[in-house]
A and B are shown apart, each in its own frame.
Chain A
Amino acid sequence: MRKRASIITGVIATLLASSAYAVETGKDIAFNRSKGNCLACHSMPTLPDAEQPGESGPPLIAMLARFPDRAVLRAKIWDATATNSGSFMPPMGKHQVLTEAEIDKVVDFLYGL
């Protein structure tokens, strides 16, 4: 009985590990309204499915040219108010809107824009 329970637990754990959580991409996180919700304020002109973007923040384009230093871009997302106190951008890392791993994925995604 106990053995069967442990098998079931194992199967569930494997399923969970391989499902949405594990495969959530940087794009998924950026588009998700309860996570990054980047489109609330930023357009992504190179992505046709980035529909009805907001216009409060600058367009997310040519990120590699604008942020040659990955650490600078990551820090902007983690807490934009650290370098610009008037920035409206929510401090995604500082206020734990996103996890550190999620921020890394979003940074990867942004460099593809």
Chain B
Amino acid sequence: MKKIAKQTYIALAGLSVLMGTVSASAGPEEDRLKLVAHFKNKFPDLKFDDYIYSALAFDPDAKAQYNSIMEFPPYTSELDKGAKLWKTPLKSGKTYADCLPNGGKMIAGNYPIFDDAKGKVVTLEDTINDCRVANGEEAYQIGDDKTLGLISAYMRTLSDGMKMNIKVEGAGALKAYEDGKRTFYGRVGQLNFSCGNCHVDNAGVRIRSELLSPVIGQATHWPAFRGGDKLTTLQERYKGCQYDVRHTPDKPGSTRYNNLEYFHSYLSNGLEMKASVFRK
């Protein structure tokens, strides 16, 4: 009898561990699928793959303009600068390509990752900096458009066509994801908006003459070159959004922004990356 009780206990314990694992990994995917269904219901004619075009997907005229601009992008010389930085050997004699998995190609869609050893979210920019430090250079400032921004802009083009594939595995990763989710859905600023108010509830709706983009697909195309050749990273865009709702923005690279980027990027899983692109 005692033995049966013990076995039952072990079985129950095993079941709860299993369930714990299932719910931990099902949370983010449930969130993502719920949003995909929300948009599918709201915009039945819009194909899933078209979400990479963000607001342009809702506006054929703007999309046609975008297509013609992208034939001869106005930011090519900026990308060339990024390519030069990318190819310049570091102090150790190694290059970024030597330092990163797969020579840095077709990997950008895996980032941000949650690094269990560091206990935090690591962005692609962080990884480039880690590479620098490991090879005798100083880390660049996160948010420095002239260095890290240009390198990441070029490097992400090496992953064009890769499907976003963010992974949230383990308790630490889930905690960071949930923190990003709280930031996304929390109403802030004098104007009292959450990211979700605009980019979930009002996606596809015009605010004055501007169409609000849906959250799905947003993370696939950064940095964007806005208005021609002004490099804007995803986290700089977060700053812009927080400024617009009259909230105090963070500096790029803050824990809050990194966790937000982690959550936000997860929601674009399954969509193709296209860097770098023109946005007005």
Total chain B interface residues with beta-carbon distance under 8 A: 12
Total chain A interface residues with beta-carbon distance under 8 A: 15
- By beta carbon, the residue of chain B nearest A37 is B208
| B190 touching A88, Cβ below 8 Å | no
Chain B hits for A3, CB < 8 A: none
CA distance in complex: A88, B193 (Å) = 7
| B207 touching A54, Cβ below 8 Å | yes
| Chain B, 178-219, CB within 8 A of any chain A CB | 190-193, 197, 201-202, 205-209
Q: Is the interface of A mostly helix, strand, loop or mixed?
A: loop
Chain B hits for A96, CB < 8 A: 190
Q: Does A40 contact B (CB under 8 A)?
A: yes
Q: Does A95 contact B (CB under 8 A)?
A: yes
CA distance in complex: A40, B201 (Å) = 16
Q: Does A56 contact B (CB under 8 A)?
A: yes
Point out which of B192, B193, B201, B202 has the most chain A C-beta atoms below 10 A from its C-beta: B192
Q: Does A41 contact B (CB under 8 A)?
A: yes
CA distance in complex: A100, B190 (Å) = 16
Q: Which residue of the partner chain, among B190, B192, B197, B208, contacts A40 with CB atoms under 8 Å?
A: B208
Chain B hits for A81, CB < 8 A: 192
| A53 touching B208, Cβ below 8 Å | yes
| B191 touching A97, Cβ below 8 Å | yes
| B190 touching A90, Cβ below 8 Å | yes
CA distance in complex: A39, B191 (Å) = 15
Q: Which residue of the partner chain, among A52, A91, A95, A97, contacts B208 with CB atoms under 8 Å?
A: A52
B184 to chain A minimum Cβ distance, whole angstroms, is: 15
Point out which of A81, A88, A96, A97 has the most chain B C-beta atoms below 10 A from its C-beta: A88
Are A56 and B207 also in contact (CB < 8 A) when A88-B201, A88-B202 are? Answer: yes
| A56 touching B202, Cβ below 8 Å | yes
| B192 touching A90, Cβ below 8 Å | yes
Complex A-B: 8 CB contacts under 8 Å: A39-B208, A54-B206, A56-B205, A88-B201, A88-B202, A91-B192, A96-B190, A97-B191
B interface residues, Cβ below 8 angstroms from A = 190-193, 197, 201-202, 205-209
